[in-house]
Amino acid sequence: MIEENIRVLENENGTFLFKCSKCDKQKRMRSPNSLKFKVKCPCGILTSVKLNARSDYRKTANIPVKIISQKFRGKGVTTNISNKGISGSYSARHELAVGDQVKIEYTIGEVLVTEHATIKYVNDSNFGAKCELLPQYSEARKKKGFFVMPPDQTLWLKLE
Ligand SMILES: [Zn+2]
């Protein structure tokens, strides 16, 4: 099997267009939850692919959070975190409402992260919130940035 060098491809709307450099076979594929992986073509070429990061990549995460608004103080747990938002569940019901401005506090490692967020949906005890950007150069932003980065894994995708 011949192995090609790394090719950097554009990550558009969660998909990328792969084209084999030997046989020209091409296919639009769904971006995996990883930025580096390999694509195997039936012609025998194995290509390492690197995608650019999606800012909306959502990392599955189970982290305890405190949710604080003017009328509500509660505890919850995240289901996923991205640069732009957090979703999860919380312990009390019907006290959070769409449009509420909240603070969401949690720790990554030893670092306390305080998000200023707006509640975007509430459904039973599940919530989704859109987060403002954390202060530039802050330890929290750096820590979160690393945390939500998609993993580099050796996945094999088949081009067929
Ligand atoms: Zn090929």
CB burial class (10 A; 0-12, 13-18, 19+) of residue 4? middle
Centroid of ligand 1 to alpha carbon of 24 (angstroms): 6
Boundaries of every domain in the chain? 2-54+150-158, 59-147
Instruction: Identify the helix (H) or strand (E) that includes residue 123.
Output: strand 111-123
**Which range is least confidently modeled, 7-11, 82-86, 122-126?**
7-11
- pLDDT of 74 higher than 80: yes
CB burial class (10 A; 0-12, 13-18, 19+) of residue 67? buried
pLDDT, tens digit, 9 for 90 and up, residues 97-114 = 999 999 999 999 999 999
Instruction: Please tell me the predicted confidence (pLDDT) of residue 35.
Output: 84
For the domain made up of 59-147, give the CATH fold: Thrombin, subunit H (2.40.10)
What is the value of pTM for the model shown?
A: 0.71
Mean pLDDT score, 32-45: 89
Instruction: Please tell me the predicted confidence (pLDDT) of residue 120.
Output: 96
Centroid of ligand 1 to alpha carbon of 30 (angstroms): 18
Q: How far apart are CA 147 and CA 60, in angstroms?
A: 11
Instruction: Please tell me the predicted confidence (pLDDT) of residue 10.
Output: 83
Please list the residues that pair with 18 across neighbouring strands: 27
Centroid of ligand 1 to alpha carbon of 20 (angstroms): 5
Q: How far apart are CA 154 and CA 119, in angstroms?
A: 36
